[in-house]
Chain A
Amino acid sequence: MSDKKKKSSGSIALHIITPCIVAVICCGIAVAALIKPYDKLKVYLNLAFMDELKTDPDSSSGLVITESEITEEHTGETYETGKVIYPTFGEMYAIIKSEKLGTDIPVYWGSKAELLEKGACQANSSSVIGNEGNSVISAHVDTFFADLSSLEVGDVLTINTNYGSFTYTVRELIEFSDTDKKYVTQKTDNRLTLYTCKRDVLGNANQRAGVICDLTESRFYTAGEEAEK
């Protein structure tokens, strides 16, 4: 009888442990298989439910954020040189478009934590898009610049503003430390520098990765002084 009891209790234990084993195996497989898709989905979830990423709205920073409607389809004449409209701090003044970057990325003038939650930010010490010099734009790697690392030399980006549309071609992929300023300082050529934090789960968070792009086409909506002459 005791043998029968032992067998019976062993069988019951097996019946109880088996679902736990199945559940653990299923969890393990799900975690392993979903890491990469979750990484990708997290970008879109962060964009879609971004209110949770926002800083305390009561913090009185005095920042005025202006959302402008950017002209994307200009039907009139365009010019190679033209007039730039200088944005104010906190103004959304441009949109970056590129197949590889996925969504259209709004660009805000000025670098601040609240602006980085809404889009990419352009350092206000850099050149306004369309002006000579280095236009430096950065964004968070887990939201707007999640696909920046997929850009390759030769890829094309377009930046639309309300005063013109500008096409850039990726010339160089870069990596630098956050203390290294050589890529973010002013330059004499017309370039666009995009950068974000370099993803490194086990490493430090001080590395930056990005691209340098050359201006290949300018289409201003209003003629500059030279064109008018």
Chain B
Amino acid sequence: MKSLGRYLVSLFLSVVMVFVSIAAIAALVLTVNVTSSKLCKMSDDSNLPEVVIGEIGKYYKNKYNTTGIPAEVYTSAITKEDISAEIERNIVSGFYSMEKESSESSQFSLPELENSISDFFDNYAAENGFSDTEKLEARKQSEIKSAYKVISNQCDVFRFNSLKEHGVLGKLSKVYPYRRVGVVSLLCASLLIMVIFLAVNHKEKPAMLYWTGISEIIAGIFTAVPAAVFLSSGKLSAFTIKQPQIFTAYTSEIHAIAMAFLAAGLAVLVVGIAFIILYKIFSTRDESVAPTKPLPIN
């Protein structure tokens, strides 16, 4: 770092590299952690299907006073596997929307639920001598349709349908399909900056290691520290939506992403320290080589 011009250029490149590294970390963390398979696994690990069944039961218990249909008509006919499949279908459909593709997943079908509701209405009609079969059938179909809507809504634990209605998924779909391209581009940009460091500091090649090292250390700190502060602040418990399955789904995913940012930041910090150590080794080696006396020309 003996020339002021080279120093200033390297300083500028170092600042650029910090931001490129932070962007690369963010892109990589989000690409790896925000996928339909991760969200589906997280929902199973957090026992969300059981939570959803509980919420469906509560919903219909509250509705009993106005509809007269006991909650057991619904809850006895749905299983954990049905709910898990519907949660997964909602998640996959949400991601398909972000990829601007149409969902090819199968339609939600619960024959046991349909039979349970149908049997309830048939028994009720028989007990009360209700003979208008057309009206009964219309009522049955209306209740079945409503039940599907309620259960699907309860299973939309990440509220993808609401996000779609409010245009959020539409906005995300502009960037989401290009996430992998973004990660690769940012990593290539980092490598390019390292090559430029080498070119700028061609007279003192180990300096490339120093500049890369400090950039990575600063990028690592800027990523890890906010993540650590967020995780330790307990802000997640202040999440507004208190519906258990949505609260669990969102807070679990946000926690996982924050942990990933913390881990990635620490990893980049370690890489930066490694570059500094290498710089120290190589620059010491350069200094320790004694200048040779030029041989006289005979």
A: residues with CB less than 8 A from B are 11, 14-15, 18-19, 21-23, 25-26, 29-30, 47-52, 102-104
Contact = CB atoms under 8 A, between A and B. Distances in A.
A203 to B, nearest CB: 30
Contacts of A48: 239-241
Contacts of B214: 18-19, 22
B229 interface: no
Main secondary structure of the interface of B (DSSP, over half): helix
Given A14-B1, A49-B235, A52-B235, A26 B240 contact: no
A93 B214 CA distance: 57
Q: Chain B interface: which size bin?
A: 20 to 34
A15 B210 contact: yes
Contacts, number: 49
A28 B135 CA distance: 70
B222 interface: yes
Contact of A25 (B15, B210, B217, B241): B15
Main secondary structure of the interface of A (DSSP, over half): helix
Interface in B223-265: 235, 237-241
Nearest to B221: A23
Contacts of B14: 22
Interface in B1-58: 1, 11, 14-15, 18-19
A48 B239 CA distance: 6
Contacts of B222: 26, 30
Contact of A51 (B1, B15, B215, B238): B238
B218 interface: yes
A19 B218 contact: yes
7 contacts: A19-B217, A21-B11, A26-B18, A49-B238, A51-B237, A51-B240, A104-B166
A21 B211 CA distance: 12
A22 B238 contact: no
A167 B59 CA distance: 32
Contacts of A21: 11
A22 B239 CA distance: 36
